Chain A
Amino acid sequence: MRVEITVNGRPHEREVEPRLLLVHFLRDLLSLTGTHVGCDTTSCGACTVLLDGVAVKSCTVLAAQADGCEVTTVEGLGGPDGLSPVQEGFRQCHGLQCGYCTPGMVMAATALLAERPDPSEQEIRDGLKGNMCRCTGYQMIVESVQWAAANGGAR
């Protein structure tokens, strides 16, 4: 089947198998490999992207379901003038070690701050509870999001 999905502001039209997952559409067809896969049970959040502005796990969305939608991946954050506040917060506060969970975590945090520009620690932990990180023990991710909230927020 044919789908048209706008990714990071650019429309992409592709012929896909009906069962193709959005994460594989992004990674294999568009070579946007920043979105990662960490599980097969929708448990880890490594694949989190924004679908029409809402954080979703792209391993549980079919490319077909995203037809006509706008997707933002980690590659779509920041720009020539530098990292987005969330990305910069992670850098300043050592919110990443191996970096594998990071794109998903950054997207989930971006969505969180769009909704709640000044979250409490509990709200951050609650908002990101679907994203697993095996390296950091989470506290420095919380601090990264707090840094971002104080320095520009979701964009």
Chain B
Amino acid sequence: MIGSAVPRKEDAALLTGRGTFVDDIQRPGLLHMVYVQSTEAHALITGIDTSAATALPGVVGVWTAEDFAELPARPSVPGLERHYLAGEKVHYVGEPVAVVVAADRYTAADAARAVEVTYEPLPVMATLEAALAPDAVPIFAPLPGNLALEQPVTPDDVAAELDAAPRRLRARLVNQRVAGAPMEPYGVLADWVGNGVTVWATVQAPHRVRAEIAQVFGLARHLIRVVAPDVGGAFGVKSSFMPELFLAPELSRRLGRPVKFVETRREHMTHTYHGRDQVQEVEVGFDENGAILALDVTITVNIGGVPDPVGIGLPTLTSYMLGGCYRIPKIAARYRSVLTNTTPTASYRGAGRPEASFLIERVVDLVALELGKDPAEVRKVNLIGPEQMPYQTPFEGIVYDEADYPAALELLLGELDYDALRAEQERRRADPGARLLGVGLSTFVEMAGFGPTPLFEQFGYLGGWESANLRLQPDGSVIVLVGTAPHGQGHQTAMAQIVADELGVPFEAVSVFYGDTAVVQEGIGTMGSRGMPVAGNAVRQAAVEVADQARRIAAHLLEADPDDLVRVGDGFQVKGVPDAAVPLAAVVERSFKPHLLPEGTRLGLESTAYYEPKNLSYPSGAHGCVVEIERDTGRVHVVRYVCVDDCGTVINPMNARGQVHGGVAQGIAQALFEKVSFDAEGRPLAASLEEYMLPGMLDLPRYETHHIETRSSFNPLGVKGIGEAGATAAPQAVVNAVVDALAHLGVRDVEMPCTPERVWKAMHHAS
């Protein structure tokens, strides 16, 4: 079954309106919670008048920060802990200031509008420049300024190497702020009954949420059940810990009734974490051939008004991946995490790695431009060869697994018909009536399969392993419980494919469950492309163990040695003796009859396995984008997008293709359309889907997808992960294409998103 494009098990429910998303769940006596959000970016709260709101019929109550003073704050870097509601001051527009609970959502919204908050304005620092200015006011009082963290990632600099390099250049690259914007907004329903609570939430890591709730409320974990039901997209956004995850349970406890919070899109766009928002200062040393000799990088990340503990450290991951697919002998990196009066930032699809890939791929193109060489040639000079794998990067512990980067590039160039495109580009440049043509390449590698425990613990998780429980039912069907909690990736299908192969049972006979802490033993969650590389291997491990148990019982039935059995069709056979065979169904049935089994055989066929990766995995590939640019408007059209991906073993090619498409779509969207911005007063300019340019069907191209399958030796399935590859590869493929189209005009860079206005300006101001 592995490698087969079977339709998904999850689809029947989702296609008939029988999915279960948080907002679909009703409970008797359900109450609705709504936030009162800050309208100011930076201000002292001088008063909150709740009288008009509480007077409305149907309103149960209004609560402010002081009502939750006894709940321990969300842990962060010391001094930067997050409180559930803004207390004395607000740090960004959209920060929750109060909560309203009412009998229905319309009344709750009315009441939230009726709460009067008065503010005393403070100076607003909505940009990095303003926040770092000498006279900037610290947004968090315990800090002397707005620099929350200054972190050298490498011990030394590369000044000597840069000095020794025959050529060098500098660049300043901007990876703008974008919103994950899953179609299902964030939602929580908490029902506190007796001495424990059940929480349904749109999250990526239910066991972690359970642990956090346990810690906040001082409860033992068995009293808390967290369920991540169907989750309508997440993209990293739903791995952060929103205040509502704790406020809804607390209010349910106080009120003795279930409490539901479902954010509006406006709340999502202003209150829920954004992603990216890095400024990168780069200096690169290289030789006349284009060989890169040294790279020096300083990253400044905008972490918003209330820092997220993951968001603060994401440039660490950017730093680790700075070398991309290339043999760069020396890299120096450091970063600064800066507070501003904007919505906080944290994980978004790729979380730190797309920023690195963007940086190095833009740098390679800049080097090519500087030397007057073809970007494909400069890539070939620098690519790590297949014979050098596994490859130790300049960063300790960052070791790339097996891949053939040059082969991926060759396949891409062939599929693009690269030389013909270059000829066509020349023709178009000479014809003033033709649209300009640009070709952008992106040979990328990212880091996935998070993983291993010491690394992943830094992000607050219990470990970096994943778990699976597999048991055969007396009728031969299989139930699998897995610790990851997906949100569209198709785990029911892919895990069943793995089990079908390992156990020799039909795909249809396997059911996979996840996302419920009362059902699933333990789990870490779905983020960092760890579905197949970590959870998939846990499932495989459980299946191997159960197959081994089955073999022993089969051997007993056949009166043979377990080592003499071979797998046939749906059972076991004594090697070379076709008559001495037993179907799996008989083996399973026997496993439930202990009196017929040797002393000491355990009852049933079941195993719980934990898979701890030894290393991360490194999905890679080569993407190419062809754009046309309208000369008179600057409008960019993506006319072709070609992907070559190497995610190791492909479990389900249809799922994998879907993951690549979705990631590429988000990457193209970052390159061309999306940007979360604020005005100088910190007011959000992209607070709705009318203002935020989420691409629709007419905005995105067809994708041509190809795969190279180089098994990873780092895990038994040989998988690497695919969820984040597209988003990692695409932004620079598009931007490189845009700049390539305009290079003859002297254009060196166009900042994302490459809007018609920006492109037009670049065309006309250049040289």
Contact = CB atoms under 8 A, between A and B. Distances in A.
B17 A125 contact: no
Contacts of A131: 696-697
Interface in B225-271: 230-235, 264-266
A100 B487 CA distance: 10
Given A37-B23, A40-B688, A133-B183, A100 B233 contact: yes
B702 interface: yes
B323 to A, nearest CB: 28
Contacts of B662: 97, 134-137
A69 interface: no
B188 to A, nearest CB: 16
Interface string A30-44: 011111111111011
Nearest to A76: B17
A32 B232 contact: no
Interface in B167-200: 181-185
A38 B185 contact: yes
Contact of B235 (A32, A73, A134): A134
A94 interface: yes
Contact of A100 (B16, B26, B183): B183
Given A32-B17, A94-B7, A41 B688 contact: yes
A43 B698 contact: no
A99 B11 CA distance: 8
Interface string A105-140: 010000000000000000011101111111111111
B239 to A, nearest CB: 15
A73 B488 CA distance: 22
Contacts of B700: 137-139
Nearest to A42: B690
A152 interface: no
A134 B234 CA distance: 10
Interface string B650-664: 000011011001111
Contact of A73 (B17, B183, B666, B690): B17
A99 B488 contact: yes
Interface string B17-31: 111110110100000
A96 interface: yes
A99 B17 CA distance: 9
A140 B661 contact: yes
B181 A98 contact: no
B688 A136 contact: no
B748 interface: no
A38 B106 CA distance: 17
A46 B666 CA distance: 19
Contact of B16 (A74, A101, A134, A141): A74
A103 interface: yes
Interface string B97-135: 000000011100000000000000000000000000000
Contacts of A146: none
A135 to B, nearest CB: 5
A68 interface: no
A120 B688 CA distance: 31
Interface of B: 7-8, 10-21, 23-24, 26, 104-106, 181-185, 230-235, 264-266, 487-490, 654-655, 657-658, 661-666, 688-690, 694, 696-698, 700, 702-703, 726
Interface of A: 17, 19-20, 24, 27-28, 31-41, 43-44, 46, 73-75, 77-78, 83, 87, 90-92, 94, 96-103, 106, 124-126, 128-142
Q: Which 7 A-B pairs have the closest CB atoms?
A: A34-B17, A100-B232, A99-B14, A137-B665, A98-B488, A97-B488, A43-B689
19 contacts: A28-B104, A34-B18, A36-B184, A36-B232, A41-B690, A43-B689, A43-B690, A74-B17, A87-B16, A90-B15, A91-B15, A94-B654, A96-B11, A97-B489, A99-B13, A100-B230, A131-B696, A133-B183, A139-B700
